[in-house]
Structure 1
Amino acid sequence: MITILIGTVLLKLPFATTAPITWTNALFTATSATTVTGLSVFDIASTLTLFGEIVLLALIQIGGVGLMAFAVALLMLLKRRVGMKNRMFLQESFSQQSLGGTVKFLKNILGFVFITEGIAFILLSLLWVPEFGWKHGLYYSLFHVISAFNNAGFSLFPENLIGFAGDLPVTLILSSLFIIGGLGFTVVMDVVTKRSRKQWSLHTKIMLAGTLTINLIATVLLFALEYHNMKTIGSMPIGDKVLTSYFQAVTPRTAGFNMVHVGDMEDSSLLLTLLLMFIGGGSASTASGIKLTTFIVIVVATLAYFRGMTEPHLFKRTVKSEIIFRSLAIAAVSSMLVFTAFFMLTITESFPFLPLLMETVSAFGTVGLSAGITGDLSPVGEWIICAVMFLGRIGPLTLFFLLIRPKKESFKYSYDRVHTG
């Protein structure tokens, strides 16, 4: 919240924008950047100055990798001791099993982030410098690499990445960045440091298999649903159709870039996109949503119940009931949050049902995809979306744990039957 407020003040400075913006617009943009959402109430390239865009990039990088990571990195640069409290924060932030090696893990993460962004920057520069010149080519490359890796979805092009639909190198570079960022740092470190697949954790196996499966299914479905839609991919050559369908299938988790006008997509495609945005990426990643592992645990637990199994299994491992309860709680609280925010928006705004729902779920999943109504939201609507982006990024359970202090039960009541279904 402090980061967002600092960003708001910086974006409201006279030399941060080409024309004056309201405090609400500044807050909305700072929130969207810090929560790496990508929703914007104005055109970034024409409204923000170079200073404003640098502020935006800084907020995206801090919000994507994590404030705690940068805070501890600063302590290390100043050669200050990283205390037990900060180590515990890092352990929780990156879902580590123990405190041992937490600082080393952070160093590896930061090294991986900057090396990955550096390689992608060089590759993208090779494509865009010849097209836009040295000055704009290098800057555009840097901006979009940081935005992509951190799953932000902000673009300096007026129509996002629509002009690059069917461009194989650009599609592969940017999509690879936000897929890697969305897998989670725990998964990346597991794959890089472990010699054999057998040594990978259950979380890593679920994330890799789940990401591959859901991306493949979403690509096939979007290709079929949009095949004849002349407003999106209908007029493209078959190769470009496949490539654009792939990009639109992977971007809802939770990058927010788009290579077609989202508002022109079929209603069925929008509903599929809504589901993908709600699911999101991986834990301890630059993505949000309820998380892919949460979704898979709920599906597996449901199938296990219908099969008469007392405990669900995944990759020859048993999933604890504690994880199942946590997953159900995350899904339930997230659904209530989305419903409440959407209900409030139907009162304050006059847009059709589906675009409003799209805006709400996009804000919760910190995706940034929009049917084109963000810039026309009322001030109250902007505040509602700000709150949803904030809660979507920190996680609804974090808020509930702050409001409701967990306590251990010292006794149990007798059992009784409740009729469900």
Structure 2
Amino acid sequence: MKKPFKNPFRHHRAKNRNKPRGYSPTQIICVSFVIVIALGTLLLSLPIASRYGRMRVIDAMFTATSATCVTGLVVRDTWTQFTAFGQAVILVLIQVGGLGLVTLTSFFALAMRRRMGFRDLRVLGESVSADGYAQAKDVLRIVVGLAALFEGIGILLLLFAFVPQFGPEGIWVSVFTAISAFCNAGFDLFGQFGAYSSLVPYVHNYYVQAVVMFMIIAGGLGFMVWVELIQYPKKRKLSLHARVVLIFSVLLWVGGAALIGLMEWNNPASMGGLSVSDKIMASLFQSVSTRTAGMNTIDLAACGPITKLLMSVLQFIGAAPGSTGGGVKVTTFAVLFLTIRSVAQGRDDCVIADHHIESKTVYRALTIIVIGALAAFGSAVVVYYNTSDAVSVIDAIFESCSAFGTVGLSVGVTARLKDGAKLLYMAVMFMGRVGPVSLAMSLTAKPDDNKRKIMPVGHINVG
């Protein structure tokens, strides 16, 4: 009697089927940020990093998280607390966080002509927001090239303002300010005029404000939008994505400036004592900076509660996808806003400029905003009930939206945080940098989650 034939590869295949798969690109990117934050914490904890002895580990970790997530919220003033070494560590964290560790390591790997496998390209494509893995390397070169170009321009322009004022130290101030502004980080070295002063001493200096605004916009528009703008004279065409980013960014900048100026025009504690031109410039600067840059030329703590609420919304929306900024992203807000408009017009789908938007894009936009809102307002509730009575509800909301949007603007709440609240804000900043949906997927997604399943149609009445 013949023995039944046994497939020698059967067991092997079954074994491989049960073998855990590798990490997803999103998980690798999240882990890379954690590694950078850990290294930054170690370096900022060293005595050589601080002017006044060794910094507490929790405060060093908060600073490292804020710098890596290009936020700008600080528990200690950067210039007052840190030595040149500590400031250099923060600047490196800002640069790595702004472009992403995966982006930088991939760039140096390509520069050394190391071959990248398919898995490397997948991670890189996720990091630089490339449409396909094939174009990931081209996008990488564009990202690093544009970053170097814009930062170089910003440093050069700021040298004319800071070198005459600070002498040789002005070179370092120009480098730090340009990179921080381009990466939408919000860190500054102007604490020598007074702790946490930011750009308030330059409220009458339109040149410095204009250069910093240019750097913020350059980093916040997104690299691929800049590529399309550079190629526009040849192609005479912009993609739907680029048009949505540009239109809604301008609307938010101009609309935000108009509302901030209107509400704070006669407030003597913020901009009431400024000239008309100073008020207009300060309003525009604050509107641009509130979209994740984290620098200010007026006293934000003295602003009215409605102004703080408006700024909280702008911070929550944030910059464009594929940029150095954070927030839920301007395109996410645009898709949700235009979906509401389409439904109000009796349409079944979201339509933008005669283009049908896929339902999965609408679902993702809604998910990002809901998760982001839960993170921002949930942390605001915790902070409000765990800090001193001096913190108002609107201040807690403002600071939490600043943390989630990786903005860095502060009305003084962060300086009062207890250790537990600092850990909470670190988690919120991390979520805001890597993206709420990306973080949720990296923690919960399973290999078979994306497989299509045939399910019965369910009917629910809404509205």
Q: How many residues align?
A: 419
The 8 Å contact of residues 289 and 392 in structure 1, kept in 2 or not, is answered as yes
- Counterpart for residue 270 of structure 1: 308
Pick from 135, 138, 146 the counterpart of residue 112 of structure 1: 146
Which digits, 9 at most, give the CA deviation of each residue in 1:132-164, with x for residues without a partner? 11x111111111000000000111112110000
Structure 1 residues 310 and 196: alpha-carbon distance in aligned structure 2, compared to 1, 3 A threshold: farther
Paired amino acid for 2:179 = I
Residue 104 of structure 2 is aligned with which of 70, 73, 80? Answer: 70
1:209-245 CA-to-partner distances (Å, cap 9, x unmatched) read 1111111111111111111011111111101110001
Which one is further off, 152-161 or 330-339?
A: 330-339
Residue number in structure 2 paired with 1:174: 212
Cα distance, 1:395 vs structure 2 = 0.8
Partner of 1:286: 324
Query: Which is further off, 195-204 or 55-64?
Result: 195-204
Q: Which moved more, 1:229-238 or 1:190-199?
A: 190-199
**Separation in 1 of the partners of 2:88 and 2:215?**
20
Report the Cα distance in structure 2 between the residues aligned to 1:292 and 1:32, rounded to whole angstroms: 22
Larger CA deviation: 145-154 vs 397-406: 397-406
Match of 1:127 among 147, 156, 161: 161
- For the pair 1:42 / 2:76, whether they are aligned, the reply is yes
2:350 paired residue number: 312
Alignment match of 1:17 (pick from 36, 50, 71): 50
Question: 1:329 — aligned with what?
Answer: 367
TM-score (norm 1): 0.97
Using the alignment, how far apart are the partners of 2:144 and 2:253 within structure 1? 27
Q: Does 2:333 align with 1:295?
A: yes
Deviation at 1:413, TM superposition (A): 2.1
Q: How does 1:7-406 map to 2 (within 5 A)?
A: 7-19=40-52, 20-133=54-167, 135-158=168-191, 159-195=197-233, 198-350=236-388, 351-402=391-442, 403-405=444-446, 406=449
Which residue type is aligned with residue 5 of structure 1? A
Aligned AA for 2:323? S
Asked if 2 retains the 8 angstrom alpha-carbon contact of 1:149 and 1:178, the reply is yes
Where does structure 2 lack aligned partners over 5 or more consecutive residues?
1-33, 192-196
> RMSD of the alignment, in Å?
1.4
Partner in structure 2 of residue 416 of structure 1: 459
Q: 1:200 to 1:35 in 2, by over 3 A?
A: same
Q: Distance in 2 between matches of 1:275 and 1:385?
A: 18
Displacement of 1:388 in angstroms is: 0.6
What letter matches 1:152 in structure 2?
A
CA contact (8 A) 1:166 1:241 kept: no
Question: In structure 2, what residue type is equivalent to 1:11?
Answer: L
Whether the 8 Å CA contact 1:164–1:170 is kept in 2: the answer is: yes
Q: Deviations over 1:156-181 (max 9, x none)?
A: 11211000013111111001111110
* Distance verdict in 2 for CA 1:409–1:77, change over 3 Å: closer
Greater shift, 397-406 or 329-338, is seen at 397-406
Task: Tell me by how many angstroms 1:352 deviates.
Answer: 1.9
> In the TM superposition, what is the alpha-carbon distance from 1:414 to its structure 2 partner?
3.7
Which of the two has higher C-alpha Rg? 2
Query: Given the superposition, is the C-alpha separation of residues 195 and 317 from structure 1 closer, same or farther in structure 2, using an over 3 Å criterion?
Result: farther
Aligned residue identity for 1:128: F
**413 and 160 in structure 1: CA distance in 2 versus 1, 3 angstrom threshold:** same
Q: TM-score, normalised by structure 2?
A: 0.88
CA shift at 1:302, angstroms? Answer: 0.5
Query: Does the 8 Å CA contact 1:277/1:367 hold for their aligned counterparts?
Result: yes
